[in-house]
Structure 1
Amino acid sequence: MNDHSIFAFRSGDGVIAPDKLELTDAELQRARVQEQSADDPAPEPETLMQRASRFIATFSAATPLKAKWPEQDAHAPDYRHLSASTIGAATTFMLTPDVVELLIGANRFDPHGMNDVIALAFRGLALGKATEIGSRHEVENATSIEVTDVRPNHSDYRCLLGFYKRDADPTKRRLTLFSGSTVPNPYYMRGYYNKVNFGVSFSTACNMVPTGGYVFRVAAHKHGTIKPALRMTDPDDLAQDATCTVLRTTNDLIFGVDDTWDTSMPYDNVHCTYVTSVKAEWEASFSSAGCLTVRGKQLTSDQWAKFQAVLNQLGSGKRCDLVLLTGRDAGIAAAMLLNGQSGDDVALRRELIRLRPGSQSAEVARLREKLGLSAGNYFGPVTKKKLTERQTQQGQPADGIFTPELDTLWGWNVFGAPPGV
């Protein structure tokens, strides 16, 4: 995982054609060469010197830091834009293909995948009722899944990852979800913090990938030691590892709206959690410095084995875009469908319509123009970075999500006039 920004070397955002669903033989070879040299993060035994340095750095701080999720949604970049929602969304609700489709449309995503299969990831969502959180780990090929909106804590399985069979026939659409995580664990968060603040040797730059729609391909992680895995791919080159604007925290162990947005090559792939119970050294039941993880061990166990089975069916080099949103997003969408508000343009603009990584529309083109970027209708890492810079300049919390509310505040008319005006 790289620690340096590459923003200066990238001037625009683009996306590959919808029908580009697999690599050619030449592209596959190029991709594999790149994968072998990539700086993919993976758990490694800690040396005695590293352990001693970490111990000293931990107690050098005035108060020992604890990895935490922001206490208020308004302070969390992926939740801030939803904190003023007026929809009475239930904590436990039914996740259906219709909910996913509403979210895809509201965010102007256009995901694609081989055999109409795309990947899903929900940050802050658990299977079953509130009383079942942590005890249920999988539901496969379902038309409806009971889920509960929670918040991540960097230690437990409080996220869901899986697949959506997005068949052209709505009656054939199916959801598969497994327990996992979409946030880094305390070990990597603290290691990066100690490296930046105390000069402690630590090789991995910890980050959190923001919600959005991302291009992925079936490939491998960590020089082929985990294969198949889903590999984050550059949106305009299916054979190239992704450039992404990710969030890094160096002032504490909380990812908040006051942290740093860094455009880099983070290697935030989808792989196994490596363990299925809390490992004391990691303070978590998963290993991640920024990758998305599915519950299971490296030697193919539990839910990871079933996740890999789908990847094997798709095949190496095949495209499988991933939509990452929060459980709160999904809960609001489910409530709007249940209440008959999904066709209410005013309510949709207020609650769900957003521009963020992966959005593609004329609205994105107008946003990019306002941000002083080159012509284009794709919201990529450059758009994300420029938007966060603009928010910071305006003295606003930098979440990098463009909302109709922000559009009105800035007077940019990106979304056009509100309905009825």
Structure 2
Amino acid sequence: MDSDLPPEGVVTASDDTALTIEEALNRPDPSTEPAPPVDDAGEEMPGTVPQAAHDYSGIRWPEADRAPDYAWIAGLATPAVFDLTAETIEALLRLNRYVPSRETEVIAFALRGASLVSGHSATKAGSVAIKVTEPDHRNFRCVIGFYFHGERKLSAFTGSTVPCRKAVFGSKHGGDPSNMLLTGMYSYYVWRHKTLTPALRLAKSKADLESGAEATVLRNSADLMLDTADVFDPSTPLDNIHCSYLLGESSDLGAQFSSWGCLTVRGTKAPSDEWKMFQKVLSGVGLKSRVDLMLTTGKEAAIVVDSGNNPENIEEKLGALRQGSRGEEVKRVQVKLGIDASGFWGPITADKFTARQRALNQAAGKGRVADGIYGRSSDALTGWKVFAGASA
């Protein structure tokens, strides 16, 4: 029977442990993301899609009711500005049934569709002022940082969690395939991205830091927009967290950052700017350490803050299951999907659920769409009564 296992339940056979760290880092990186478009001197390098073929005018973020991470909350009001705190992070963890590893001092977080109200960084702060924005394949419209759970402090940096415009363009026009990591909880390890060390690597375990962990990602194909009609692909995307490689916009990339699916922190390879501060935290944590990442949206965080950071106040609105969720409610969904009830929402559960969601939405006259998130609307659509604790 198909089964999703939590990161600590994955058994891997690898020779990583037999190598010294230096030997392991000297091996070729299997990451498929194209080389960055600039060298250390900031000179643009040629890309895989010819310059003459670039026409990024049609690339845009979808309307809220067609954006996978936003469709399920499209009708909810959102404060424009809010203060992100430890209480907000903890509330989001509970609402999504996430149980992150706390074996190191930090849990990583990323807010898609958000920006810092002031500057590009905030370090070891009790609260961080955040503005809700719309994600953008061209500009930095995300915040990536660390939650120091013991101290209940936050460090936050300007970044991006979406592919750049060239990547979206190339996916349709024969360039290197790109993807977008969907909101969820993912296990990363302090390791490398290509020649960048340290960086955060999406990996299976400490025993296998190279081959990558499986995840269900969104890929565009029919048009130049990533929306609920696109492909949810269970794959091994190697969506690591690395520097943006540049600070201003690249004419080749059509963006301020180089990403075909990885999350990026503002700064250059040198390292510089926010990436330099990000790496300092990673160095303190140590190579091969596990750092779980909660990827969410600025809008969800804002709604949580507006509720007083009390999950009970908004459980009906924001209580949800998605990649990385755990528990009995996940088991109930898995039983309904006819897969092994492991209690962990991984790529198998995500794949089966999005297929069922598409079929049900099509039957309901909503089109063959899916967002991969099991909230109260999904309970109504399926009739499974997952959150009520009953089986239909």
Please state which band the TM-score falls in when normalised by the shorter chain. 0.7 to 0.9
- Within a 5 Å distance, the mapping from 1:150-189 to structure 2 comes to 150-167=133-150, 172-189=151-168
Instruction: Write the letter of the residue equivalent to 2:283.
Output: N
Following superposition, the deviation at residue 409 of structure 1 comes to 2.5
**Who is 1:403 aligned against?**
375
Aligned partners of 2:346, 2:18: CA distance in 1, in Å?
22
- Within a 5 Å distance, the mapping from 1:124-139 to structure 2 comes to 124-128=113-117, 136-139=119-122
SS of the aligned residue for 2:203 comes to strand
Aligned partners of 2:387, 2:157: CA distance in 1, in Å?
35
Are 1:244 and 2:241 matched, yes or no? no
Decide whether the 8 Å contact of 1:13 with 1:380 is kept in 2.
yes
Following superposition, the deviation at residue 68 of structure 1 comes to 0.7
SS of the aligned residue for 1:241 comes to coil
Decide whether the 8 Å contact of 2:29 with 2:193 is kept in 1.
no
Q: CA RMSD in A?
A: 2.6
Aligned partners of 1:34, 1:261: CA distance in 2, in Å?
34
Change over 3 Å in CA distance of 1:337–1:51 after alignment to 2: closer
Aligned partners of 2:91, 2:303: CA distance in 1, in Å?
10
Aligned partners of 2:223, 2:129: CA distance in 1, in Å?
35
Following superposition, the deviation at residue 329 of structure 1 comes to 0.6
Instruction: Write the letter of the residue equivalent to 1:250.
Output: S
**Who is 2:52 aligned against?**
55
Identity value in percent: 35
Instruction: Write the letter of the residue equivalent to 1:403.
Output: G
- Within a 5 Å distance, the mapping from 1:108-257 to structure 2 comes to 108-128=97-117, 136-167=119-150, 172-195=151-174, 202=175, 204-222=176-194, 225-234=195-204, 239=209, 240-257=211-228
Are 1:348 and 2:348 matched, yes or no? no
Are 1:375 and 2:341 matched, yes or no? yes
**Who is 1:199 aligned against?**
none
Aligned partners of 1:353, 1:238: CA distance in 2, in Å?
33
**Who is 2:40 aligned against?**
none
Change over 3 Å in CA distance of 1:334–1:237 after alignment to 2: farther
1:340-399 per-residue CA deviation (whole Å, 9 max, x = no partner) reads: x6433xx412x1100000101110011111111112000011111111101111115301
**Who is 2:297 aligned against?**
326
1:91-111 per-residue CA deviation (whole Å, 9 max, x = no partner) reads: 101111111111000000011
TM-score by length of 2: 0.88
Aligned partners of 1:236, 1:375: CA distance in 2, in Å?
25
Change over 3 Å in CA distance of 1:55–1:116 after alignment to 2: same
SS of the aligned residue for 1:367 comes to helix
Change over 3 Å in CA distance of 1:11–1:305 after alignment to 2: same
**Who is 1:89 aligned against?**
78
Decide whether the 8 Å contact of 1:76 with 1:257 is kept in 2.
yes
SS of the aligned residue for 2:284 comes to helix
Change over 3 Å in CA distance of 1:101–1:248 after alignment to 2: same
**Who is 1:277 aligned against?**
248
1:101-129 per-residue CA deviation (whole Å, 9 max, x = no partner) reads: 1100000001114433111111011111x
Change over 3 Å in CA distance of 1:208–1:229 after alignment to 2: same
Change over 3 Å in CA distance of 1:28–1:12 after alignment to 2: farther
**Who is 1:366 aligned against?**
332
Change over 3 Å in CA distance of 1:417–1:25 after alignment to 2: closer
Following superposition, the deviation at residue 157 of structure 1 comes to 1.0
SS of the aligned residue for 2:307 comes to helix
Change over 3 Å in CA distance of 1:27–1:73 after alignment to 2: farther
Task: Specify every segment of 5 or more residues in structure 2 that has no aligned partner in the other structure, as ranges.
Answer: 38-44
Aligned partners of 1:283, 1:323: CA distance in 2, in Å?
28
Task: Specify every segment of 5 or more residues in structure 1 that has no aligned partner in the other structure, as ranges.
Answer: 1-9, 196-201
Following superposition, the deviation at residue 265 of structure 1 comes to 1.1
Number of residue pairs the alignment of both structures matches: 371
Change over 3 Å in CA distance of 1:27–1:82 after alignment to 2: farther
Decide whether the 8 Å contact of 2:212 with 2:237 is kept in 1.
no
Following superposition, the deviation at residue 414 of structure 1 comes to 1.2
**Who is 2:61 aligned against?**
69
Decide whether the 8 Å contact of 2:245 with 2:269 is kept in 1.
yes
Instruction: Write the letter of the residue equivalent to 2:128.
Output: I
Once structures 1 and 2 are overlaid, which stretch shifts more, 27-36 or 149-158? 27-36
Aligned partners of 2:207, 2:353: CA distance in 1, in Å?
23
SS of the aligned residue for 1:206 comes to coil
TM-score by length of 1: 0.82
